[in-house]
Amino acid sequence: MKYRWGKYVALLAAALLLMIGSGCSDMTVLDPKGPVGESQRDLIVFSIIMMLFIVAVVMVALTYILVKFRERPDRGDKDYDPDHEGNTKLEIIWTVVPLIIVTALSVPTVITIFQLEEPPESSSDKEPLVVHATAADWKWFFSYPEQDIETVNYLHIPTDRAIEFRLSSADSMASLWIPALGGQKYNMAGMETKLYLQADEAGTYQGRNSNFTGTGFAEQTFDVHAEPAEEFESWVEETQQNAPELTQSEYDKLLAPGLLEEMEFSSTHLEYVDHGEMDGSDYLIERHQEAFEELPHLEGGRGVGDE
């Protein structure tokens, strides 16, 4: 009986390991495509090494103690000291060493925190491209004020140039996250946050809202097309020429809670409202309050709602 059990357990374990192995191949955060993500990756890897060291120390000490000091018939009272109540020297060591480790982690953390508030240095010769990213339940508006175009649920960015995202939300608090390029920041109604990202490699990356916003949260995703500057410029020109204008009534309609297709326009909603300013925070509510009384129930996986 025992053997058969063992076989199943081994099989299950092997299958699980296989799954873990195949799942690890795809870790976007550890394989970033831009300087922001890279500095965060470096910090993460550094901290993982430090932390594995601590885990190893504890595991070794725990195993040693459990093996050596377990109760066993032949041991008797050898090495048993019930009145052993402390050791000042040891206690100082295990207070000071963690303090040193915390300091070692704090220094690069603080440096990186301050760095990330500025555009990446590698492209400091160029002005950052300004993109207003506005979240609304459950879609994304990307406005390019300098180019005077706006897209919904996707965006194009040039490579090797910093992007200055100006984040805000028309309703729920969202969080703009493009894991391949770097960490996230919140989109909040009535205020504006800034997030610098940059792509060094051309490609299409997944972006999403990572902060729970209700029914359509899982579908609140977008594609980021990073491409060389010339291609980006030609996309901008094409959009300026071919896309329709975004009228206020059209924009108001798009704001209603729900899912949207990818779209593009040859003007931006910033002419009508900037949700990043305090007066912009009730813009959506004044138009769509009733829509929130009866929200749609989405069935199934991602993309189902797009149909």
Partner 1 sequence: MLDFLLNEFLVTGDPLIYGAMVSMVLVSIAIVYVLTYFKKWGYLWREWLTTVDHKKIGIMYIIAAIAMLFRGGVDALLMRTQLTLPGMEFLNSQHYNEIFTTHGTIMIIFMAMPFLIGLMNFVVPLQIGARDVAFPFLNAVSFWSFAIGALLFNLSFVIGGSPDAGWTNYAPMAGPNLNPGPNINYYLIGLQISGIGTLATGINFLATILKMRAPGMTLMRMPIFTWSSLITSLIITFAFPILTVALALMTIDRIFGSQFFTLTGDGMPMMWANLFWLWGHPEVYIVILPAFGIFSEVISTFARKQLFGYKAMVWSMVIIAGLSFVVWVHHFFTMGAGAGVNSFFSITTMLISVPTGVKIFNWLGTMYKGKIRFDTPMLWALGFIPCFVLGGVTGVMLAMAAADYQYHNTYFLVAHFHNVLIAGTVFGCFAGLTFWYPKMFGHKMNETLGKISFWFFLIGFNVCFLPMYFLGFAGMPRRTYSIEPEWMPLNVVSSVGAVLMAVGFAVFVYNIYYSFRYSPRETQGDAWDGRALEWATTTPVPFYNFATVPKVEGPEAYWLMKQKGKTTYDKNNLEPIHMPSDSGVPFIMMAFMFVAGFGLVWEWMIVAIAGLIGVLACMFIRSFDYDHGFHVSVEEIKETEEKARREEK
Tell which positions 276-305 bind partner 1, by CB under 8 A: 278, 281-282, 284-286, 289, 292-293, 295, 297-302, 304
Q: Binding to partner 1 (CB under 8 A): which residues in 27-46?
A: 27-30, 37, 39-40, 43-44
Residue among 229 and 295 whose Cβ is closer to partner 1? 295
**Residue written as token pair 């192995």:** 21
Span from 205-213, 228-236, 242-250, 263-271 in contact with partner 1 (CB under 8 A)? 205-213
Query: Binding to partner 1 by residue 226, rule CB under 8 A?
Result: no
SS3 42: helix
Count, residues near partner 1 per rule CB under 8 A: 108
Of the residues 74, 83, 125, 261, which one makes contact with partner 1 according to CB under 8 A: 83
Extract the tokens encoding 146.
């300098």
Going by C-alpha positions, the residue among 259, 12, 280 that lies closest to residue 140 is 259
Q: Binding to partner 1 (CB under 8 A): which residues in 141-180?
A: 167, 171-173, 175, 177, 179
Extract the tokens encoding 23.
């799942």
Closest separation in Å from C-beta 230 to partner 1: 30
Residue among 59 and 229 whose Cβ is closer to partner 1? 59
Spatial distance between the Cα atoms of 155 and 204, rounded to a whole number of angstroms: 10
Query: Binding to partner 1 by residue 249, rule CB under 8 A?
Result: no
How many other C-beta atoms are found inside a 10 Å radius of the C-beta of residue 1? 5
Query: Binding to partner 1 by residue 185, rule CB under 8 A?
Result: yes
Residue 226 · residue 33 · CB < 8 Å: yes
Q: How many CA atoms lie less than 13 Å away from 153 in the CB half-sphere?
A: 16
Residue among 114 and 242 whose Cβ is closer to partner 1? 114
Closest separation in Å from C-beta 248 to partner 1: 19
Spatial distance between the Cα atoms of 189 and 168, rounded to a whole number of angstroms: 6
Distances, alpha carbon 136 to alpha carbons 39, 127, 213, in Å: 30, 28, 9
Q: Binding to partner 1 (CB under 8 A): which residues in 57-76?
A: 58-59, 61-62, 65-66, 69-71, 75
